[in-house]
Amino acid sequence: MYKINLALLILSSALVFSGCTKWAEDKQNIYVYQAPPPPGGAIPTNTPLCGSIKGVMQTGQTYVLGCTINVPKGDTLILEQGVTVYADTTSGIIVHGTLISLGTQAQPNVFTVKGITKDNTPNLPLNQDPAHKGLWKGIMCDTSCRLLVLKWTHLDFAGASYGNVDGPAVEESSGTSFNIVFQNPNGYCIIEDCWFYGGTDDCMRISNGKLHIFRNTFEKCGGSGGDIVNCKGGSVGTIAYNFFIGTAYNGQKASNKGQPVGAPQCNIVMYNSTFVNGGVRITAGSRAGGIDYEQGAEGAFYNNAFINCRVGYRVVNNPVADTLHLTYGNNYQWADSLVIADQFFTYGGVCTKPQPTDIPRPSLYLPANFYYPNPPANAYDGTPVVQYENPKFVNYPLPVVGQPLFAYTSIGSFNFHLLPGSSLIGKGNTTIKPLVVVPIDPIYGATEVTPPGADIGCYQINGSGNQH
């Protein structure tokens, strides 16, 4: 009997011990930095700014970033008009809350790096151009950022790597170097009448969000690569009246890649943008140089002008865009030479359908049996449409003389407004409906949703559209 008792004793004590699973609970104490709450109110100008921030940067004042500043969740930083912010390679702006920059046409705001001048020399090698060095980190919005509003604001020389602290703080890798990142599918990203100069990768990465990107100017954006306004799965809104020159890859791109659970399908309406010398860094057959819809993106693109872009606009075949819900037309393309015209309808994994409203008219140069769902290389001869229907810019002679293609990546002293008699005038489709998903408000929303214009491109002969 005692033997059995003994065995029972051992077994029961073992069971008692095994019941103590509470002991086995992991007690973790992981040090995670909590930024102290910012004081708020008027931001002082006398010391370099660093760390948590909220409040107001006042009209006409100049501020210096000593390190990355961050707007905590629930807090707001507002820039009144005429504000200048100097940043450097160690600094940028992290936005967990709300950032509003209210520049005006008369007194724009400026984010830049002190002492750097723009070099508009044509054909400047990448490694010699301060535009492509990435001299500060830009505006890094994380998943909790509810509202980003930039109006009449310059963002120059951004594109430094976020690094191992700021990158993970906004759930990006340390090597990320976008000028702006926005990634809240329920947040509003409103960018109007702004100027972007320089960069090393995507200028504006909209991972997801409700967006309104109107009437901006982009020069020298992207570095050795990068799509300039790059919208991914979960992004919805309208992108219109933007001017791009010398983009690395596309000016505007939509893809449903990485759609978060519960976020909408990528749906972007694009109209009346102008792309000059787009796709400086691409190889024909792999990417587009102006507009690109791919991987499940839906929407529409009309009334856009593409001037000497290395590859024409593309609707990608694999992974295919949502072609059932994608419409396009009234898009204009100009080629100085045959090498450009031969890529108006590029080859490879694309299914861009030529539209009768396109300029030049596809029937002028595409064969009747042009197989648009998967065109082979050299499927047509673009000779008839080289230098066809000159857009007549105020000061940018076409064809470009004395410089190779893609020599000019910034505006400099050129003027891309239209002269009377431009072939872009009156060719636009004004029936397109913008997709308005953001509030309209002088401070906390968009100022103006400019409807589609009658003239192709971002500058309207009646003075509406892009105001730069």
Partner 1 sequence: MLMIKRTLLSFVAICLAFISQAGTIKGKIRDSKTGEPMTGATVTLANTRYWTTVQLDGTFTFRHVPAGKYQLTASAVGYQRSTPVEVVLSSDNDEKDLALSLSVSTTTLEEVQISAASGGSDNTARRIEQRSDMVQNILSARTIEISPDITVANALQRVSGVVIQRDNTGDGRYAIIRGMDQRYNNTLVNGIKIPSPDDKYRFVPMNIFPAEMLERLEVIKALTPNMEGDAIGGTMNLVMKNAPDKFIFSANGSLGYSTIFNDNPFVAFPHAGINKQSPAEIHGNDYGAAVSDFTTNNLKFYNRATPINNTLGFTIGDRFLDKKLGIILSASYQDLYKGAVSERLVPDAQPLPSPDPNTLNPSDSYVRTYSTRTNRIGLQNKIDYLFNDRNRISLFNLYLHQDQFETRYTPDSSSAGLNSTATQTLVKPEYRSRWQIQDIYNATLQGNHQLSNKVRVDWSGVYSIAKQQIPDMASYTWDQVVYREASGKTDSIRNTIPQGTSNAVTHRWQHNKDQDWAGYGNVEYKPSLFQREFAFQLGGLYRYKTRDSYNNDYALQAVNGGAPYSGLDGEELYFQATGQNKGSYTAINAQSYTAHEKVAAGYIMTRFLLVPKFQVLGGVRVENTQDDYTTVLPKTSTIGASGTIHYTDVLPSVHLKYSLQSNQNLRLSYFKSISRPGFGDLVPITDNSNEEFTFLGNPYLKHVRADNLDLRYELFPGLADQFLVGAFYKHLTNPIEYYVTNVNGPSSLYLRPQNTNEATNYGAEIVFTKYWGVFGISANYTYTHSEVTTTKRLYGLVSGSIQTQNINQSRPLQGQADHVGNFSLLLKDPRWGLDAQLALAYTGTRIVQVSPYYGLDIWGKPIAQLDLSVEKRLYRRLVFFAKINNLTNSPNKEYIKFPYTKVNANLPSGYTIPFQDGGSNYTVAQKDIYKISYLGGLRYKF
- Exactly one of 10, 338, 394, 440 binds partner 1 (CB under 8 A); that residue is 10
Of 291-299, 390-398, 417-425, 428-436, the window that binds partner 1 (rule: CB under 8 A) is: 291-299
Q: Does 95 sit near partner 1 (CB under 8 A)?
A: no
CA distance 312 to 288: 6
Options 155-163, 354-362, 421-429, 451-459: segment touching partner 1 (CB under 8 A): 155-163
Q: Of 79-87, 126-134, 190-198, 426-434, which part binds partner 1 (CB under 8 A)? A: 126-134
Q: Is residue 115 part of the contact set for partner 1 (CB under 8 A)?
A: no
| Least distance (Å) between residue 394 CB and partner 1 | 31
> Contacts with partner 1: how many residues (CB under 8 A)?
103
Q: Does 2 bind partner 1 (CB under 8 A)?
A: yes
Which of 147, 221, 263, 326 is close enough to bind partner 1 by CB under 8 A?
263
256 in contact with partner 1 (CB under 8 A): yes
Site string for partner 1, 178-217 (x = CB under 8 A): ---x-x----------------xx---x-xx---------
Q: Determine which residue in the list 82, 233, 278, 457 makes contact with partner 1, applying CB under 8 A.
A: 233
Instruction: Work out whether 404 is an interface residue with partner 1 (CB under 8 A).
Output: no
Structure tokens at 61: 């004042």
**Which of 187, 210, 191 lies closest to 151 in space, CA to CA?**
191
| Rounded Cα gap, residues 83 and 71, in angstroms | 17
Instruction: Candidates 323, 336, 347, 454: give the one binding partner 1 (CB under 8 A).
Output: 347
How far, in Å, are 4, 83, 218, 222 from residue 215 at the CA level?
88, 20, 10, 19
Closest CA to 317 of 349, 362, 276, 363: 349
Interaction of residue 286 with partner 1, rule CB under 8 A: yes
- The whole-angstrom separation of Cα 310 and Cα 334 is 11
- Cα distances from 457 to residues 13, 214, 339, in angstroms, run 82, 13, 23
Locus of tokens 């075949």: 317
Q: What is the DSSP letter of 183?
A: E
Coil vs helix vs strand at 161: coil
42 or 377, CB closer to partner 1? 377
Binder to partner 1 among 46, 47, 106, 261 (CB under 8 A)?
A: 261
Q: Please identify, among the stretches 40-48, 58-66, 156-164, 421-429, the one whose residues bind partner 1 according to the rule CB under 8 A.
A: 156-164
Q: Is 73 in the site for partner 1 (CB under 8 A)?
A: no
Give the residue from 244, 202, 240, 230 showing the smallest Cα distance to 410.
244
CA 412/CA 406 separation, integer angstroms: 14
Only segment of 25-33, 57-65, 79-87, 384-392 that touches partner 1 (CB under 8 A): 25-33
Of residues 370-399, those binding partner 1 (CB under 8 A)? 373-374, 376-377
Is the link from the previous residue into 264 a cis peptide, with omega within 30 of 0?
A: no
Give CA torsion, residues 278, 280, 281, 286, to 10 deg: 50
User: In the set 98, 161, 423, 466, which binds partner 1 (CB under 8 A)?
Assistant: 161
Our finding on whether 316 is near partner 1 (CB under 8 A) is: yes
Contact characters 39-68, partner 1, x per CB under 8 A: ------------x-----------------
As a whole number of angstroms, the distance between CA 348 and CA 367 comes to: 17
Q: Counting contacts by CB under 8 A, is residue 7 touching partner 1?
A: yes
- Minimum Å gap between C-beta 21 and partner 1 is 7
Q: Where are the beta strands (DSSP E) in 336-452?
A: 393-395, 415-418
> 30-64 in b/e burial notation, b at 16+ Cβ within 10 A?
eeeeebeebeeeebeeeeebeebbbbbbbeebebb
Q: Does 177 bind partner 1 (CB under 8 A)?
A: yes
Helices (H), 278-349: 338-341
- Shortest spacing between CB 72 and partner 1, in angstroms: 12
Residue number, 101 or 200, with CB nearest to partner 1: 200
- In whole angstroms, how close is the CB of 351 to partner 1 at the nearest point? 9
Q: Report the C-alpha gap between 98 and 77 in whole angstroms.
A: 6
Of the two residues 256 and 273, which places its CB atom closer to partner 1 in the complex?
256
